[in-house]
Chains A and B, each alone.
Chain A
């Protein structure tokens, strides 16, 4: 056997070292975009991040243009977007979470039954559908029959996107519970539904709650499906059967209208803070409530 420099330990260790540094460097670079994005939004958006943002509806292009000409700060905020997002999300949650939890329970209970396996793969399939496709489907099934864009249509679209995540987290957190918990409940003479509602679901609650919150934060910033369902509105609207705006939809409007571009940053900053805030909150809950 011939020993060369390249089979010697010093070369091999140096190579190993070098690889490690490369891994660290690339990992570090992967973190930069998030901070760049945050930094840019804060830097450009903090001036417009004021009380108006929360209390006034978005200005029209005309108003914004006049303000720009006279060099005033842009008037108005994103109140119509905030209320719209709130309305759409609330209804989406009401639609997705109960049925998602029920399906998750079904899957956790029936594990390997053919129907359960089928439903599980369909849920995976739903999760992979691009959001714009969900948008156009809801356009066909809800917008067209109701002959108009509506908040409800937006909620249905977001609910369909949330559903697989809720199902998955319910199933996973129920499956993590020891089997003996259920047996103990039944051994005390509890009926199946009572054991599920009083013992198993509460024990799985933290996982379930985290999963649902993450699902909410994931769909909160969605824009594409709302474009073809909720459309957008220039005023505050609480009527489910009428078009409604959303924070993400407003950002899209601002982006497309040079007169309104000044509002992009504060509204994006708010959206990002909301989404990341919910995200972090959900994860901290998962940490805190972990069952020993």
Chain B
């Protein structure tokens, strides 16, 4: 009797997750219907207008801004996260240096987004201004540099695990054929761990897509498609954070629609990453 109650409670909790997800999806869809019917879904996605006075809204500048900053961030991040994952998963696996590097990088993941924003604003931005990148320093480049630092932990800790899982026998086999350490990494470890590493980069990319606060503080918040890396712009997350408070009516619905699009993009990116990992770990 008590057991049945207990099991019912567990089931209820699990169903709560379903309800919650359904509520999120339903909420996003129902709120964005207005914008989609008014502008047409395709037109909303491909229009570069964001004009509050004439009530004309399109998501293209923000989709572009999001994708560009995230791709750039991933590119900046890869040399560092790749090195960290080799350092922790291959060269110093389970030894003190790896534990140290691993915990510091993990701590980096704990730093709040807004603190990264401050760091970008007060430390990195003057550097860019000094280098003459742009007058104010704000823009896609600054945002992606900070994003790159923010996603290092996500990209490196998982891929270190995948590199660490490469069976020793395989590596020993290669060593006994006279390969150098680099050759073992190139020919044995990376081919074996490759898809896992790829999946962790995809996950990190997903993180970069959804980052809000730091990007909002650094990208410059202009509603047009960035013309160059030093140009200002807005991402899907930053436009919502910036304009949500003052929005109503069609504008609110448009922001919700952007939220829905962002949700769909990050969800599919995460799905791809999880799928790859599932295949790999089998």
Residues in A lying within 8 Å of B, measured CB to CB: 12-13, 15-16, 19-20, 22-27, 29-31, 33-34, 36-37, 40-41, 98-100, 102-103, 105-107, 109, 115-116, 118-119, 121-134, 136-137, 139-141, 160, 163, 167, 191-193, 196, 217-218, 220-224, 227-228, 248, 251-252, 255, 264, 268, 271-272, 275-276, 279-280, 283
Contacts and interface: CB of A to CB of B under 8 A. Distances in A.
Given A36-B119, A252-B114, A129 B24 contact: yes
A40 B24 CA distance: 39
Contact of A130 (B79, B83, B262): B262
Given A251-B114, A252-B114, A34 B108 contact: yes
B263 A255 contact: no
Contacts, number: 236
Nearest to B256: A136
Contact of B111 (A20, A25, A26, A272): A272
Nearest to A264: B118
Given A99-B13, A130-B266, A276 B110 contact: yes
B180 A12 contact: yes
Contacts of B2: 191, 193
Of the listed residues B6, B13, B211, B237, the one surrounded by the most CB atoms of chain A closer than 10 A to its CB is: B13
Contacts of B9: 102
A23 B210 contact: no
A133 B28 CA distance: 9
B81 interface: yes
A133 B16 contact: no
Interface string B110-131: 1111111111011100000000
B10 A102 contact: yes
Q: How large is the interface on B (under 10, 10 to 19, 20 to 34, 35 or more residues)?
A: 35 or more
B245 interface: yes
B104 A34 contact: yes
- Main secondary structure, interface of A, reads helix
B187 interface: no
A20 B23 contact: no
Contacts of A196: 6
A222 B112 contact: yes
Contact of A26 (B80, B123, B255): B80
A275 B110 contact: yes
Given A34-B107, A222-B113, A26 B240 contact: no
19 contacts: A31-B101, A34-B107, A106-B13, A107-B14, A119-B17, A122-B21, A125-B270, A130-B211, A132-B241, A133-B237, A136-B259, A137-B23, A139-B244, A140-B27, A141-B23, A217-B110, A221-B110, A221-B111, A275-B111
Contacts of B20: 126, 160, 163
B10 A105 contact: yes
B149 interface: yes
B209 interface: yes
B210 A132 contact: yes
B73 interface: no
A221 B244 contact: no
B267 A193 contact: no
Contacts of A276: 107, 110-111
A115 B20 CA distance: 15
